[in-house]
Amino acid sequence: MNLKEITKQNYLSNLNNNQKEAIINPDGPCLIVAGAGSGKTKVLTTRVVHIIKEKKAWPNQILCVTFTNKAAREMQNRITKFLNQKINSLPWLGTFHSVSAKLLRRHAEAVGLNSRFTIIDQDDQLRLIKNICKAENIDIKKISPQFVLSFINQWKNKGLLPKDVTLRKGIPLEKAILNVYKFYQERLKILNSCDFGDLILLCVSMFENNPDILELYLNNFKYILVDEYQDSNYIQSKWLNLLAKKNNNICCVGDDDQSIYSWRGAEIKNFLDFGKIYKNTKIIKLEQNYRSTQNILSAASGLIAKNNDRLGKKLWTDSKDGELVKLTCYKNGKEEAIGISDIIEQKLKKKYSLNNISILVRAIFQTREFEERFLKIGMGYRVVGGTKFYERAEIKDSIAFLRIVNQKNDDLAFERIVNVPKRSVGDSAIKQLHSWARKNKKSLEDSAIELLQLNKIKPKTKLGLVKILNMFNKWRNDLKQKKHYELMEIILDESGYSKMLKDKKDLESEGRLENLKELIRGMHDFDNLQGFLEHVALATSIDQDWDGQKVNLMTMHAAKGLEFDAVFLPGWEEGLFPHQKSLEEKGDLALEEERRLAYVGLTRAKKESFISFVMNRMYRGDWVDSLASRFIEELPEKNIEKKELKEQNSEDFFFNQDIDYNEGIRSPGWARLQKRKLKRIK
């Protein structure tokens, strides 16, 4: 059937020529490079429909893999609608993990399990690792279970069972962690369990060690389709290679310019080397965008063109040029939040629904200043993919410390933090304190003091209670001499709370530490502790679930796959974006991923995009000069409208800062500091 004949099919209507080409020739390996907003999901689902309509395969002979359950459901619903069939018309459509679980249950004995095996979650994983560490006399204060788990997950993503791991020089802890990994896998087998990493890893192991089982599925799966292939890791790619090696009819859809999950194990190499892995690969580029204006697309394309590791494409649209991308410099973070909220209120609220407006940040701690502003002006907002700032566990813990220092009768605060971090004050001790408090009409703190004096507390618990009560008294004395934000730093240090998070050495804990830094920054806006605590109480008590419209607050990572009429991108400063820690750890590879993240942020906007940065930010109680992100310099001038900061004492600011980034990765404000030094010398 030729292109003219095929376009007569109703399911192929309203498709451009590149989309049709990606659909009508399903045989052989194919890589569909789908730019942002180019209709990749539509192409993938229509390709499945075409295979079935043309009777190239039965539905149960098609393997269709996604990365999320949401994407799988969306594809299933679209295909069902096209085919006019019942739900579950495609039995082998699902995530990598769900399909692998289905395969393992059919052949569990081949990997030493039975078909009723349990899939454990992260809490169970950590509990199991903790027990193994105790049995092996490994100090979990030095090597946290979270840290061990991160290593195990990395090994599994790379397809390494304990016997396959080669220890690296210069990492002394690896030997101990590998030992835990061995016991961990043995224990899982005894429990007839596996974790999420095992689902794919054990599948690969099963196929490699049981050619007859592999042959069964090689004969069954005539076509394989994969969504968001740029997010695949090593073991997922190997899983696909094994299942595709007979028919070679594998089609992967994705966008190398939106590969932003290396921290989760994703390897862009899989996408870039697809043509090397599968011979005679057809590469089809979907470059027509159906989401954004041309100015937004040109700005994003000009920026991402600076990356080297990409196949290359240029997005275009039939729609109008639209508004230029707005670029604004603000004096500081507070002014940035005020400025953005003013734009939303004065201009956009009349034009767009608040639901179609989003603020995309590089790091979640950045939401605080916007939340404070929205609370003040009564504008509805939601934090997408996260928790509102003052509702985050680490923030509530920190404020509980402050509350008990401020008011010793605050039993709720006392109960929340008396055993955080762990100091052997368990549930039974808390019950004992509550019982005494009710009987004697005392606060929990006073009850603890009296029970200690009467020697009614168990020895181990006694040590923990005495320690925390002494700290409460010390901090109350400190408050008489120190600022409330200085006290917060002291509390986080002396309580062991900061150390607890640092010892975990995972991304979540790093994010929590950043939130604590942001909390301390925010405390500078208040004259005293009482004023700050009152502000927090009011902020958290306000009904924030207003009926009607809400501005969306989220990270750029969380925004992938979403779209909004207007998008605000604050905090484009060196050190924050691109993120300094990422650059220090992975250098140029991280820089390219950070640039891809900027590209993702820009291409979420349908009509208007606003980029901003500040001259100064508060960092650990000190004002630090900020340097505009290098990404700003990489934006095409013709697609940008600059708004210079016009204030006194701002003469040292300019957009085109003469910085040679090839000299190495500099901290925020480094270059400006050097310039000021030269001025003083002259």
508-521 confidence digits (pLDDT tens): 888 899 999 999 99
Rounded to whole angstroms, the Cα distance separating 388 from 375 reads 12
Q: Rounded distance, CA 137 to CA 132, Å?
A: 9
Give the 3-state DSSP-derived string for 491-539, with helices as H, strands as E and coil as C: HHHHCCHHHHHHHHCCHHHHHHHHHHHHHHHHHCCCCCHHHHHHHHHHH
Q: Residues 604, 606, 630, 666: which is the catalytic one?
A: 604
- The sign of the CA dihedral 350, 356, 360, 365 is positive
Contact 252, 274 (CB under 8 A): yes
Res 668: pLDDT? 38
Residue among 510, 534, 303, 209 at smallest CA distance from 403: 534
Q: Report which secondary-structure segment, H or E, holds 215.
A: helix 211-220
Indicate whether 650 pLDDT > 50.
no
Which is it for the CA torsion 661, 664, 670, 674, positive or negative?
A: negative
Whether residue 372 lies in the annotated active site: no
Of the CA atoms within 13 Å of residue 280, those in its CB half-sphere come to 5
Average pLDDT on 70-94 reads 81
Given CA atoms 355, 359, 361, 364 in this order, what sign does their dihedral have? negative
Average pLDDT in the chain = 88
Q: How confident is the model at residue 673 (pLDDT cuts 50, 70, 90)?
A: very low
**557 vs 361: CA distance, rounded Å:** 9
Range with lowest mean pLDDT among 134-148, 229-243, 250-264, 351-365: 134-148
The two counts, helices (H) then strands (E), for the chain are 30, 17
C-alpha–C-alpha distance, residues 412 and 599, integer Å: 45
Which pLDDT value is given to residue 70? 86
* Among 195, 198, 228, 518, the one annotated catalytic: 228
Which CB contacts under 8 angstroms, 24+ apart, belong to 308-312? Answer: 308/592, 309/256, 309/268, 309/272, 309/592, 310/256, 310/257, 310/272, 311/33, 311/256, 311/271, 311/272, 311/283, 311/285
**Percent of the chain whose predicted confidence (pLDDT) is above 90:** 70
pLDDT for 274 beyond 90: yes
Task: Determine the pLDDT at residue 620.
Answer: 56
Q: Residue 13: CA atoms inside 13 Å, Cβ hemisphere, count?
A: 5
Q: Which range among 40-44, 51-55, 216-220, 674-678 shows the weakest confidence by mean pLDDT?
A: 674-678
Q: What are phi and psi of 575, to 5 degrees?
A: 95, -35
- Closest among 17, 21, 83 to 53, alpha carbons compared: 83
Chain segment 310-339, per-residue pLDDT in tens: 999 989 999 889 999 999 999 999 999 999
Closest to 367 in 3D by CA, of 498, 515, 507: 515
User: Which tokens belong to 498?
Assistant: 């900061």
CA 15: distance to chain centroid? Answer: 33
164 catalytic per annotation:
no
Is there a contact between 358 and 559 (Cβ–Cβ < 8 Å)? yes
Instruction: State the pLDDT at residue 420.
Output: 93
Residue 473 and residue 192: Cα distance in Å, rounded?
51
- Copy the structure tokens of residue 221: 């799966």
The pLDDT tens digits of the residues spanning 456-491 come to 999 989 999 999 999 999 999 999 999 999 999 999
Q: How far apart are CA 266 and CA 232, in angstroms?
A: 5
Contacts of 669 (CB under 8 A, 6+ apart): 624, 625, 626, 627
What pLDDT is attached to residue 269?
95
Backbone angles phi, psi at 348, to 5 degrees: -85, -30
- Residue 47 scores a pLDDT above 60: yes
Using CA atoms, how far apart are residues 276 and 433, in angstroms rounded to an integer? 67
Catalytic: which of 19, 20, 40, 595? Answer: 40
Q: How many CB atoms lie within 10 A of CB 283?
A: 12
Residue 621: band (very low, low, confident or very high) from pLDDT cuts 50, 70, 90: low
- Alpha carbons within 13 A on the beta-carbon side of 34: 26
In this model, does residue 659 exceed pLDDT 80? no
Residue 171 amino acid letter:
I
Mean predicted confidence (pLDDT) in 185-191: 92
Q: Is the pLDDT score of 676 beyond 80?
A: no
Task: Extract the tokens encoding 668.
Answer: 């925020």
- 3-state per-residue secondary structure call for 75-123: HHHHHHHHHCCCCCCCCCEEEHHHHHHHHHHHCHHHHCCCCCCEECCHH
Q: What are phi and psi of 619, to 5 degrees?
A: -135, 115
Sign of CA dihedral 413, 414, 415, 416: positive
Rounded Cα distance between 143 and 423, Å, is: 18
Three-state secondary-structure class, residue 33: strand
Residue from 45, 95, 258, 367 carrying the catalytic annotation: 258
Q: What is the mean pLDDT of residues 104-133?
A: 91
Question: DSSP letter string over 560-626?
Answer: TT--EEEEEE---BTBBTTBHHHHHHHHHHHHHHHHHHHHHHHTTEEEEEEEEEESEEEETTEEEE-
Q: What is the pTM of this model?
A: 0.83
Instruction: Choose between 506 and 653: higher pLDDT.
Output: 506
CB 608 within 8 A of CB 323: yes
- Torsion angle (degrees, nearest 10) of CA 430, 432, 433, 434: 90
Choose among 501, 456, 495, 497: nearest CA to 472.
495
Query: What pLDDT is recorded for position 88?
Result: 57
SS3 assignment, position 230: helix
SS (H, E, C) 354-394: HHHEEEEECCHHHHHHHHHHHHHHCCCEEECCCCCHHHCHH
Q: What is the pLDDT of residue 619?
A: 62
Chain-centre distance of CA 284, in angstroms? 29
Q: Give yes or no for residue 622 having a pLDDT over 80.
A: no
Ramachandran assignment for 14, one of left (phi > 0), alpha (psi -120 to 50 degrees), beta (any other) = left
Choice among 41, 66, 294, 461 that is catalytic: 41
What pLDDT is stored for residue 86 in this prediction? 59
Q: What is the pLDDT of residue 369?
A: 94
pLDDT of residue 543: 46
Say which of 227, 369, 394, 608 is annotated catalytic: 227
- CA dihedral angle for residue 73, residue 74, residue 75, residue 79, rounded to 10 degrees: 100
Q: What letter does residue 225 receive in the DSSP assignment?
A: E
Catalytic residue check, 68: no
Helix (H) / strand (E) containing 67 = none
Sheet with 282-286, edge to edge strand ranges: 93-95, 62-66, 223-226, 250-254, 30-34, 282-286
95 part of the active site: no
Percentage of residues in the chain having pLDDT higher than 70: 90
Evaluate if residue 190 carries a pLDDT over 50.
yes
Place of tokens 């940040």: 361
Contact 268, 259 (CB under 8 A): yes
41: annotated active-site residue? yes
pLDDT exceeds cutoff 70 at 682: no
Q: What is the pLDDT of residue 446?
A: 94
* pLDDT at site 220: 96
The yes-or-no answer on residue 40 being catalytic is yes
Question: Does 358 have pLDDT greater than 80?
Answer: yes
Between 542 and 432, where is the model more confident? 432
